[in-house]
Chains A and B, each alone.
Chain A
Amino acid sequence: MAFISSGYNPEKPMENRISDIGPQHFTEFLQPVIKKNFGKWVYHEILEPGVLKHVAESGDAVYTVRCGTARLMSVTHIREICDIADQWCDGYLRFTTRNNIEFMVEDEGKAKDLKKFLNDQKFPGGSFKFPVGGTGAGVSNIVHTQGWVHCHTPATDASGTVKATMDAVFDQFTDMKLPAPVRISMACCLNMCGAVHCSDIAILGIHRKPPIIDHKYLDNLCEIPLAVAACPTGAVRPSKVEVDGKDYKTVAIKEERCMFCGNCYTMCPSLPLADKEGDGIALMVGGKVSNRITKPAFSKVVVPFLPNNTPRWPEMTDVIKRILTAYSEGANKYERLGDWATRIGWERFFEVCDLEFSEHLIDDFRDPAYYTWRQTTQFKW
Chain B
Amino acid sequence: MAKHKTPMLDQLESGPWPSFVSDVKQEAETRAKNEKGIEYQVPADCPDDLLGVLELSYNDGETHWKHGGIVGVFGYGGGVIGRYCDQPEQFPGVAHFHTIRVAQPAGKFYTTKFLRDLCDIWELRGSGLTNMHGATGDIVLLGTQTPQLEEIFFELTHNMNNDLGGSGSNLRTPAACMGMSRCEYACYDSQELCYNLTQEYQDELHRPAFPYKFKFKFDACPNGCVAAIARSDLSFLGTWRDNIRVDQEAVAAYVGGEIAPNAGAHAGRDWGKFDIVKEVVNLCPSGAITFEGGKLAIDNKECVRCMHCINTMPRALRIGEDTGCSILCGAKAPILDGPQMGSLLVPFVEVNKDDDFQAIKDVVEGVWDWWMEEGKNRERIGETMKRLGFAALANAAGVPIDARMVQEPRHNPYIFWKADEVEGGWERDIEDFRKRHQR
User: What is the interface of chain A, defined by CB distance below 8 A to chain B?
Assistant: 1-8, 10, 13-14, 16-26, 28-31, 34, 38-39, 41-49, 54, 62, 64, 68-79, 81-82, 85-86, 91-97, 99, 104, 123-131, 135-138, 143, 145, 147-154, 157, 159-160, 163-164, 166-167, 170, 173, 175-179, 181, 190-198, 226, 229-230, 232, 261, 263, 265-266, 269, 272, 274-277, 279, 287, 289-294, 296, 298, 308, 310-312, 333-334, 365-366, 368
Contacts and interface: CB of A to CB of B under 8 A. Distances in A.
B300 to A, nearest CB: 16
Given A126-B14, A193-B333, A152 B222 contact: no
A287 B263 CA distance: 24
Interface in B78-106: 81, 83, 97, 99, 103-106
A22 B199 contact: yes
B130 A73 contact: yes
Sort A-B residue pairs by CB-CB distance and give the 3 closest, nearest first. A125-B13, A136-B265, A167-B15
Contact of A229 (B107, B133, B377): B377
Which range contains the number of B residues in contact with the other chain? 35 or more
Interface of B: 8-24, 26-27, 30, 39-41, 44, 47, 50, 53-54, 57-68, 74-76, 81, 83, 97, 99, 103-116, 119, 122-124, 128-133, 135, 142-143, 147, 150-155, 157-158, 161-163, 175, 177-178, 180-184, 186, 189, 191, 195, 198-199, 202-203, 205-206, 222-227, 229-231, 237, 260, 262-269, 271, 279, 283-285, 304-308, 311-312, 314-315, 318, 333-339, 341, 377-378
Nearest to A29: B109
Contacts of A157: 54, 57-58
A92 B111 CA distance: 5
A216 B58 CA distance: 30
Contacts of B175: 97
B381 to A, nearest CB: 17
Contact of A79 (B19, B20, B116, B202): B116
Given A69-B18, A70-B23, A152-B65, A43 B337 contact: no
A132 B12 CA distance: 20
Given A10-B150, A26-B191, A78 B308 contact: no
Contact of B133 (A4, A99, A175): A99
B111 A91 contact: yes
A148 B266 contact: no
A126 to B, nearest CB: 6
B39 A123 contact: no
Given A8-B154, A77-B23, A170-B16, A176 B267 contact: yes
A73 B226 contact: no
Contacts of A48: 267
A97 B177 CA distance: 7
Given A64-B182, A311-B12, A149 B54 contact: yes
A106 to B, nearest CB: 13
Nearest to B278: A333
14 contacts: A71-B20, A71-B133, A74-B128, A77-B26, A78-B119, A97-B177, A99-B132, A136-B262, A148-B58, A163-B15, A163-B17, A190-B333, A229-B377, A368-B338
B268 A138 contact: yes
Contact of A26 (B81, B107, B341): B107
B174 to A, nearest CB: 9
Contacts of A49: 268
Contact of B11 (A26, A124, A312): A312
B110 A195 contact: no
B18 A123 contact: yes
B306 A95 contact: no
B214 to A, nearest CB: 15
Contact of B16 (A131, A147, A148): A131
Contact of B19 (A123, A179, A232): A123
Given A91-B113, A198-B230, A279-B62, A123 B107 contact: no
Given A26-B107, A192-B334, 4 more contacts: A92-B111, A123-B19, A148-B53, A292-B222
B27 to A, nearest CB: 4
Given A34-B182, A272-B67, A334 B263 contact: no
B20 A96 contact: no
Nearest to A197: B339
Given A8-B154, A41-B183, A293 B57 contact: no
B268 A22 contact: no
A18 B158 contact: yes
A74 B65 CA distance: 21
B12 A21 contact: no
Contacts of B14: 125-127
B158 A7 contact: yes
